[in-house]
Amino acid sequence: MSRVLALHLGLVALLLAMHFVLPAYHHGNLARVMVLACYAIGFNILFGYTGLLSLGHALFFAAGMYGMGLAITQLGAAPAPALLAGLIAGLVVAGITGALALRTVGVAFMIVTLMFAQAGYLTILYFGDITHGDEGFVIQPAQRVLWGLDLSDPSWRYLAAWALFSACLIASLALVRHPFGRTLTAIRENEERARLLGYDVALRKWVAVVISGGISALSGAAYGLLFGYAGASFASVQYSIFPLLWVLLGGAGTVLGPFIGTLFMFYLIDLTSGITTAYMLLAGVVLVLLTLFAPQGLVGEVRRRGWGWLP
């Protein structure tokens, strides 16, 4: 118990310490990775812990990003209410699509979520007059001052990303250790048995979708706010595949996995793009090798090889 808490709080503290020592480039990268890791954390709650593979999470990420961005550009909202608007947009979208998609299972669930995300992407393009379609729109620095903190400044951006990431990490740790989180794992392992034990499986799966969508949306909203841009490409299929990659790489069903996976993949692409233009080739090779030799992901392997206590 205490070593679990120590490990996670240690990571949080380490990331805070990084703020003071990292060179500018990696400082900026880590801020980005932390925000994206929240997206992966959201995805992991559904995929890793509940066992539901969604191929349409970009819908939630984009709902947050556009909920936030449009609140600012169309309604003139301040950043804090805009973030809230993004979160609510994500929760509502997740609530509706979750209720529909959960009527299906397995491959059909994957496809339905994919279809909903595709419809969402096209909807952003369709309302091009306010969303500016694929071009997207800029959120000006003056609109990104949260409680007096200028989020366009690298230091505040890093600290904001760190605060968000810490909150999401601790929340996900608390969730999986909470009885509710444990029933999610029970559903993943054996849905029929969970149902026989008297759990309302359908309701719990829906709540898992909503939590997962909410965290993803928060990540999308924060991404738009911190980096000053919202665009339709964030709603495309590729951004539904990314969290899957990150989570699998880091380790599905582990609390630290999403962060490790996001960080690893980010630098993998960043470094290989200097060697070849076909840098996604390496991502492909890594994925194949992972499935062959480390299907549990990096953190999952660590857990398998001795650290069995890792949550």
Partner 1 sequence: MTLKPTDLTRRGALKGLGAAATLPLWTRYAGAQSAEPIKIGFQVHRTGIGAAYGRWYDRTTQAAVAMINEAGGINGRPVEIIAEDDGTDAKRGAEVIEKFATQHNCDIAYGTLFSHVVIGSAPRAGELKLPYFVVSEGHHVASGMLNRYTLQPGITDVKSQVQAMAPFITDQLGKKVTMIFPDYGFGYDHRDNLVPAIEANGGEVIELIAIPPTETSFTKYFPKIPRETEVLYHVMVGPAVLTFVKELGEFFGPQAPEIFGFIDSLEAVNIGSPGLEFLEGTYFWEGMCRHAQPDQSEFETLYREKVGVDDRGASLADPKDVSTYAHMFGCWETLNVIKAGMEASGYSGPSDRAALIEAVEAMTDMPEGVEHPQGPKLFNGKTHQVFGQQYISQVQDGVLTRVHTTSIEDGMYPDEVDYTTQSF
Partner 2 sequence: MELGPYLVLATLEGAVMAAVLALTACGLSLVFGVMRVVNVAHGEFFMLGAVFAWWIASHIGGAPAWGFVAALILAPLIVGAIAAAADMTVLRRIDYDPERTIVATIGLLYILQQATLMTYGPDARPVEAPFNTRIAIPWVEWTEAGWALYWPWGVATTSYKMFVIAAAVAVLAGLWGLMTRTRIGLLMRATQLDRDMALAFGIPVERVYALVFGLGAGLAALAAVLIVPIQQAHYLMGHDPLLLSFIVVIIGGLGSLPGTILAAILIGLTDSLVSVFFSPTLAKILATLLVALVLVFRPQGLFGSRAS
Judged by the rule CB under 8 A, the positions of this chain that interact with partner 2 are 53, 100-101, 103-108, 110-112, 114-116, 118-119, 122-123, 125-126, 237, 241, 244-245, 248, 276-281, 283-288, 290-292, 295
CB 204 to partner 1: min, Å: 34
3-state secondary structure of 22: coil
Please list, in sequence order, all residues whose beta carbon lies within 8 angstroms of the beta carbon of residue 174, skipping any fewer than 6 positions away. Answer: none
| Spatial CA neighbour of 210 closest among 69, 70, 79, 63 | 63
Shortest distance, position 126 Cβ to partner 2, whole Å? 5
Least CB distance from residue 62 to partner 2, whole Å?
Answer: 14
The residue among 142 and 292 lying less far from partner 1, judged by its C-beta, is 142
* Contact partner, 138, from partner 1, partner 2, none, Cβ < 5-8 Å per class: partner 1
**Of residues 230 and 252, the one with the C-beta less far from partner 1:** 230
Cβ atoms within 10 A of the Cβ of 248, count? 26
For partner 1, which is the closer residue by CB, 105 or 278? 278
Per the CB < 8 A criterion, the answer to whether 51 and 261 are in contact is: no
Report H helices in the chain.
2-21, 24-44, 58-75, 79-101, 106-126, 128-131, 154-177, 179-189, 191-196, 201-227, 237-250, 257-272, 280-293, 297-304
| Residue 22 binds: one of partner 2, partner 1, none (C-beta under 5 to 8 A by kind) | partner 1
Amino acid (1-letter code) at residue 15: L
Q: Indicate the residue among 120 and 231 with the shorter CB distance to partner 1.
A: 231
Looking at residue 235, the DSSP 8-state letter turns out to be G
Q: Please say which residue, 109 or 223, places its beta carbon nearer to partner 2.
A: 109
287 binds, options partner 2, partner 1, none, Cβ within 5 to 8 A by partner type: partner 2
Q: Minimum Å distance from CB 180 to partner 2?
A: 24
**From partner 2, partner 1, none, interface partner of 53 (C-beta below 5 to 8 A by class):** partner 2
Least Å from the CB of residue 178 to partner 1: 34
User: Which option in partner 2, partner 1, none does residue 241 bind, with CB closer than 5 to 8 A by kind?
Assistant: partner 2
Please state, in angstroms and rounded to a whole number, the distance separating the CA atoms of residues 59 and 37.
Answer: 17
What is the DSSP secondary structure assignment for residue 236, as one 8-state letter? Answer: S
Distance from C-alpha of 64 to C-alpha of 297, rounded to nearest angstrom:
28
Residue ranges binding partner 1 (CB under 8 A) = 19-25, 27-29, 32, 122, 125, 128, 132-141, 145, 148-150, 152-156, 227-229, 231-234, 270, 273-274, 277-279
What's the CA gap between 269 and 255, in Å, rounded? 23
Taking the C-alpha atoms of residue 235 and residue 224, their distance in angstroms, rounded to an integer, is 13
178's contact among partner 2, partner 1, none, with CB below 5 to 8 A by partner kind, is none
